[in-house]
C-alpha cells in the first residue's frame, strides 16, 4: 500500500483552488483558509511553488495565481495518454454486457471515423474499420457538437444537406445533453454510411455520398425523446467521452441492433450501458463534462 504524501495532497489542493478560480488572485491567508492549512505550511508551500514558476506572486498585491510553468506541463500532459489508450477494455466490457457491436469514434476533418471496436458481427469481421467516414452534416455528428458553443453549433447546422434536417437536429440537442446520449433510427442510407465496406469494394463516389447524406437529412434520424412504452427501429446508440478540457474526445456507440421494433425501455437500458462506459473512460483520462 502506498504511503500517504501530505505534501503532494496540499500542493494539489492549492492548484485546484487556483484553477477553479482562474480570474481571481488569493492572499496567503485566503489560500491557508480555503485549503485548511496553517499559515506557516501555506507560506512554505506557496514559496516553493512560486520558485518553480508553478505559481506567480504579485509584487504589490502579494496575491498568488497560476504560473507560466503550468503551460508547458499542460502541453506535455496533452501529449500523454488519451482516451484511445484506455478504450479497448471498456469497449470489450460494453460488448460483453450487451451482446452488441461496440465502437469508438473520433472526429477528423469534419468527419466521424471509427477507431476501435469490439463484439464485431460475423458479417463485419472481414471489413476494414478504416473504410468508414461519416460527414458531420446534420443530423450526423450531433454528439460531437451537442456540448459546443453556439458558433460551432451554427456552423454544423450550416452544413446540413437539406433544410429539413435543421429543426429536428436543433430539437434533439437538448435531449442529447440532458440524457447524455443520442439514439439514431435505422435507415438504409445510415447503414450504408456507417458500416464498413467489403474488402476491395470501391468507396462511394462523391455523388453517391451526397445522395446518401441528403436522404439521411430528410429522414427522422435523431430521436428528441424516448417513450419507454413505444417501440422503435433503432440503429445506433452513442455517448460522448470528454477530455480534461471538456471537449468530446471520443464517442462510444452500440451498433448492429436487431432489425426489428425494440421497446423504448430496452433502448433506454442499452443507452445507460453506453453512458456508463463513456463515463468510465472519461474518468480514466481525468476528463470532465463541460458545465
115-154 pLDDT per residue, tens: 999 999 998 989 998 889 999 999 999 999 999 999 999 9
On whether both 123 and 205 belong to a single domain, the answer is yes
Domain boundary among 43, 77, 111: 77
The whole domain housing 251 covers 81-284
On whether both 165 and 114 belong to a single domain, the answer is yes
Task: Dig out the grid coordinates for 225 from the structure.
Answer: 425523446
pLDDT on residue 76: 67
Q: Residue 291: inside a domain, yes or no? A: no
On whether both 37 and 152 belong to a single domain, the answer is no
Task: Dig out the grid coordinates for 217 from the structure.
Answer: 437529412
Domain boundary among 56, 77, 98: 77
The helix (run of H) or strand (run of E) holding residue 232 is strand 231-232
On whether both 132 and 16 belong to a single domain, the answer is no
Q: Residue 1: inside a domain, yes or no? A: no
Q: Residue 28: inside a domain, yes or no? A: yes
Report, in this order, helix, strand and coil percent for the chain, each rounded to 5.
Answer: 45, 20, 35
On whether both 126 and 250 belong to a single domain, the answer is yes
CATH code (residue 12)? 1.10.10.10
Q: Domain count of the chain?
A: 2
Q: pTM (2 decimals)? A: 0.76
268/251 Cα distance (integer angstroms): 17
> Is the model more confident about 274 or about 22?
274
On whether both 199 and 109 belong to a single domain, the answer is yes
Task: Dig out the grid coordinates for 9 from the structure.
Answer: 495532497
Domain boundary among 77, 110, 139: 77
Count Cα neighbours of 236 within 13 Å in the Cβ-side half-sphere.
25
Span 6-31, average pLDDT: 89
The helix (run of H) or strand (run of E) holding residue 236 is strand 234-242
DSSP 3-state assignment of 239? strand
DSSP 92: H
On whether both 85 and 143 belong to a single domain, the answer is yes
Local confidence band at 59 (pLDDT 50, 70, 90 cut-offs): confident
Amino acid at each position: 500500500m502506498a504511503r500517504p504524501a501530505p505534501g503532494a495532497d496540499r500542493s494539489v489542493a492549492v492548484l485546484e483552488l487556483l484553477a477553479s478560480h482562474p480570474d481571481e488572485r488569493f492572499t496567503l491567508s485566503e489560500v491557508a483558509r480555503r485549503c485548511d492549512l496553517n499559515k506557516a505550511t501555506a507560506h512554505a508551500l506557496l514559496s516553493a511553488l512560486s520558485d518553480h514558476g508553478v505559481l506567480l506572486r504579485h509584487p504589490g498585491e502579494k496575491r498568488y495565481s497560476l504560473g507560466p510553468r503550468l503551460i508547458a506541463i499542460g502541453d506535455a500532459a496533452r501529449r500523454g495518454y488519451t482516451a484511445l489508450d484506455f478504450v479497448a477494455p471498456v469497449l470489450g466490457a460494453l460488448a460483453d454486457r450487451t451482446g452488441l457491436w461496440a465502437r469508438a469514434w473520433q472526429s477528423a476533418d469534419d468527419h466521424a471515423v471509427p477507431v476501435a471496436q469490439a463484439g464485431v458481427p460475423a458479417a463485419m469481421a472481414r471489413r476494414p474499420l478504416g473504410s468508414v467516414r461519416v460527414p458531420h452534416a446534420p443530423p450526423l455528428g450531433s454528439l460531437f457538437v451537442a456540448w459546443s458553443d453556439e458558433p460551432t453549433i451554427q456552423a454544423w447546422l450550416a452544413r446540413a444537406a437539406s433544410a429539413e434536417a435543421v429543426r429536428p437536429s436543433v430539437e434533439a440537442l437538448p435531449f442529447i445533453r440532458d440524457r447524455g446520449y443520442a439514439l439514431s433510427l435505422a435507415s438504409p442510407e445510415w447503414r450504408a454510411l456507417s458500416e464498413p465496406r467489403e474488402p476491395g469494394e470501391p468507396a462511394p463516389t462523391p455523388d453517391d455520398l451526397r445522395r446518401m447524406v441528403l436522404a439521411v437529412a430528410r429522414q427522422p434520424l435523431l430521436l428528441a425523446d424516448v417513450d419507454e412504452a413505444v417501440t422503435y427501429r433503432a440503429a445506433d446508440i452513442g455517448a460522448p467521452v470528454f477530455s480534461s478540457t471538456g471537449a468530446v474526445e471520443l464517442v462510444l456507440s452500440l451498433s448492429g441492433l436487431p432489425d426489428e421494433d425494440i421497446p423504448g425501455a430496452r433502448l433506454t437500458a442499452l443507452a445507460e450501458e453506453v453512458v456508463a462506459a463513456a463515463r468510465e473512460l472519461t474518468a480514466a483520462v481525468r476528463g470532465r463534462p463541460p458545465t
